[in-house]
């Protein structure tokens, strides 16, 4: 599959935040999320998964477990999530994780970690929603969360993604994977800057003036990514679209 390419994209996302290449979320974030979901809707079945993710730095952890725990509890309280009483473990590193269902079909998770060699706490606020969740409620949550993040002084980046199977018309073979990517690119008034293709996967990084946030790839600004993967067992095409990039497996 495209694992090596995906890893490089995820690394690019993290590096972008560390070096300040991404812009702070503002009022346009909610409009961009709704625009993404509405534009992709004709190409995807209704049974899809939506992810809102905000990453940034907050406070000081310096690798101290107690500081991570206290920071995590403070953030859990700020976002209305029941507090965790102990740290968990991820990839052999201690992390704070707490989660709660905020609206029907949508679970929010706050994670706090302490990257090696850094003083600040690394924070991820994530909302994972099924197709059962009302999109208006998800965008409303993002708006409220954005206001709270601003109050806390957490400078970072919203990352919005949607994933689901390609709808019947395109899935029937009337359009190739690249034709679908090109159609979506056109729908977003975008320009393909980079692309990748193997036996089962097609993906493209786009520049689109319809999105405010971006990450740097070399000297180019990437606003949107589109990926199609053909499942080897079912033959179905799985479509993933994210702004400014995809940071989930596709």
Average pLDDT over residues 186-203: 94
Please tell me the distance from the alpha carbon of residue 142 to that of residue 158, in angstroms, as a whole number. Answer: 9
Higher pLDDT: 19 or 44? It is 44
Surface-to-core class of residue 104, CB atoms within 10 Å of its CB (0-12 exposed, 13-18 middle, 19+ buried): exposed
pTM of the model: 0.85
pLDDT-derived band at 50 (thresholds 50, 70, 90) equals very high
Q: 27: pLDDT confidence band, cut at 50, 70 and 90?
A: low
Find the radius of gyration of the CA atoms of the chain. Answer: 18
Stretch among 48-62, 104-118, 167-181 having the lowest mean pLDDT: 167-181
Give 145: exposed, middle or buried? Use CB within 10 Å, 0-12, 13-18, 19+.
buried
Q: Could you tell me which residue, 168 or 77, shows the higher pLDDT? A: 77
pLDDT digits (tens, 9 = 90+) for 155-176: 898 999 999 999 876 666 668 8
**How would residue 28 be classed by pLDDT, with cut points 50, 70 and 90?**
low
Percent over 90 (pLDDT), the chain? 66
Q: Domain extents for the chain?
A: 3-243
Q: Which of 23-37, 168-182, 197-211 has the lowest mean pLDDT?
A: 23-37
For residue 21, pLDDT over 50 is answered with: no
Average pLDDT value for residue range 96-113: 95
Angle of CA points 102, 131, 249, to nearest 5°: 95
| Tens digit of each residue's pLDDT (9 = 90 or more) over 113-133 | 998 888 999 999 999 999 989
DSSP of 142-193, one letter per residue?
HHHHHHHHHHHT--EEEEEEEEEEBPHHIIIIIS-HHHHHHHHHHHTTEEEE
């Amino acid at each position: 599959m495209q694992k090596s390419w995906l890893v490089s994209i995820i690394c690019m996302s993290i590096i972008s935040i560390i070096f300040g290449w991404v812009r702070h979320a503002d009022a346009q974030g909610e409009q961009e999320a709704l625009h993404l979901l509405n534009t992709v809707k004709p190409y995807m079945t209704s049974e899809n998964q939506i992810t809102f993710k905000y990453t940034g730095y907050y406070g000081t952890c310096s690798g101290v477990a107690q500081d991570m725990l206290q920071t995590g509890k403070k953030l859990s309280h700020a976002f209305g999530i029941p507090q965790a009483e102990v740290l968990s473990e991820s990839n052999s590193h201690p992390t704070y994780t707490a989660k709660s269902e905020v609206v029907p079909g949508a679970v929010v998770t706050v994670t706090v970690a302490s990257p090696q060699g850094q003083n600040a706490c690394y924070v991820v606020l994530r909302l994972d929603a099924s197709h059962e969740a009302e999109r208006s409620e998800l965008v409303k949550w993002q708006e409220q969360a954005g206001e709270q993040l601003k109050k806390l002084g957490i400078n970072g980046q919203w990352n919005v993604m949607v994933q689901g199977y390609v709808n019947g018309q395109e899935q029937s073979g009337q359009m190739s994977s690249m034709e679908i990517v090109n159609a979506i690119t056109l729908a977003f008034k975008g320009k393909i800057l980079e692309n990748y293709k193997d036996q089962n996967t097609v993906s493209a990084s786009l520049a689109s003036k319809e999105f405010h946030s971006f990450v740097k790839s070399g000297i180019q600004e990437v606003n949107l990514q589109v990926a199609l993967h053909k499942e080897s067992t079912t033959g179905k095409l799985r479509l993933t679209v994210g702004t400014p990039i995809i940071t989930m497996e596709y």
